[in-house]
Amino acid sequence: MGNEDLMNNSKAEKHLEQKRKSKKIKKFYNLLDFVVVKNKNTKTQKIKYVKVSKQTQKRGKIRKKKITTIKKRILRERNEKKIKMEEDLVNQIDLLIMNEGKADESKCCDDLNNQFTELKVSEPVELNLSQESEEVQYNNLNHIQHSRNFREYCDHFITQDIKKFTELIFKDLFKFQENKFQQNPVKAKANKRYVVGFKEVKKFLIAKRLKLMFIAPDLARSKEVDAIVNDIKILAIEHNVPYVFSIKRRHIGYLLLKKVPVSIVGIFDYQGTTDNVNSLLKSVQTERNNYKSKIKGVFL
């Protein structure tokens, strides 16, 4: 009896397992179980896309950039030159109109009088050269052509070697200063590598803190700027600070990541680029000697 009961129990268990499996298979193939019915109460929210046409201005007062005294004087001189040019043009036009009227009257009289006269050969007219044209010829003869990119205050020639060394020096100094600012901005402000602008350079030059100066050779033509540059050159010679004319204002600003062109740069410490500085100063000295020799050749 015991064995028969065990057999029956095992058969019953197998039968139950088969039923369970059949039920699972049926559920798997019943597609209605997988249909999702949406609740009517739930509301879907549509995403609102914002159209960005213009950048919103910052609220609050925005300070206007102050124009420096040098810039004000330069603008004033430019305005005065513009007014003079306009006045000269007006005067020239008036003279031309007057001359044309006189020429027409003289032609009428000459045609009547010269019907029975022989033609005369016109004598050569001597032109009086102005001071400006003489200066241009003077410079062309002596191969020292000053222009907007190479002003009269420059006292040495600019070569590709000088430009190359200055670019390397600026890149190195900018890299060193940025690394210091990332490490400790307080110490970096106290120990700057370079300073920019006429005011700052002159201040630290008087304090005998500068070791090297770079002046842009393409500064604006103005009496004030020329006077400031001459003062800085005299101070540099007194304090034995070498100064170099190499690359343009915009290029200096680009290398130092400034938004504006830079006219002058004063360097406190060029440690790390001493080789470049030494080679630059050698090439500058040779070009300065060449410049002086050409000027001496003029007066001999």
If one counts the domains in the chain, the total is: 2
Give 226-271 pLDDT, tens digit per residue: 999 999 999 999 999 999 999 999 999 999 999 889 999 999 999 9
pLDDT of residue 188: 87
**192 and 73 share a domain?**
no
pLDDT of residue 130: 44
pLDDT of residue 68: 81
Residue 131 lies in a domain: no
What the block records as the tokens of 190 is 């106290």
Indicate the residue among 77, 99, 121 that finishes a domain: 99
Residue 124 lies in a domain: no
3-state helix, strand, coil in the chain (%, to 5): 60, 5, 35
**287 and 167 share a domain?**
yes
pLDDT of residue 138: 41
pLDDT of residue 128: 47
If you average pLDDT over residues 4-33, what whole number do you get? 62
**168 and 285 share a domain?**
yes
pLDDT of residue 36: 59
What is the DSSP code string of 248-279? -HHHHHHHTT-SS---EEEES--TT-HHHHHH
pTM for the model: 0.62
Residue 52 lies in a domain: no
**85 and 183 share a domain?**
no
Does 31 or 287 have the greater pLDDT score?
287
Residue 237 lies in a domain: yes
Residue 122 lies in a domain: no
The domain that holds 295 is classified in CATH as: 3.30.1330.30
**19-23, 71-75, 95-99, 181-185 — most confident range:** 181-185
Domain with 265 in it:
160-299
Q: Which residue has the tokens 């440690």?
A: 271
pLDDT of residue 131: 46
Give 119-175 pLDDT, tens digit per residue: 444 444 444 444 444 444 444 434 578 888 999 999 999 999 999 999 999 999 999
**95 and 168 share a domain?**
no
Does 18 or 238 have the greater pLDDT score?
238
**258 and 177 share a domain?**
yes
**83 and 181 share a domain?**
no
Indicate the residue among 59, 81, 99 that finishes a domain: 99
Residue 25 lies in a domain: no
Closest of 224, 177, 223, 222 to residue 196, by C-alpha: 177
74, 199, 240 from 81: Cα distances, Å: 11, 26, 37
**83 and 212 share a domain?**
no
**Sign of CA pseudo-dihedral 69, 202, 243, 266:** negative
Residue 2 lies in a domain: no
Give 42-90 pLDDT, tens digit per residue: 566 555 555 555 555 566 667 777 888 888 888 888 888 889 888 888 8
Residue 288 lies in a domain: yes
Q: CA 270, CA 265: separation in Å to the nearest integer?
A: 13
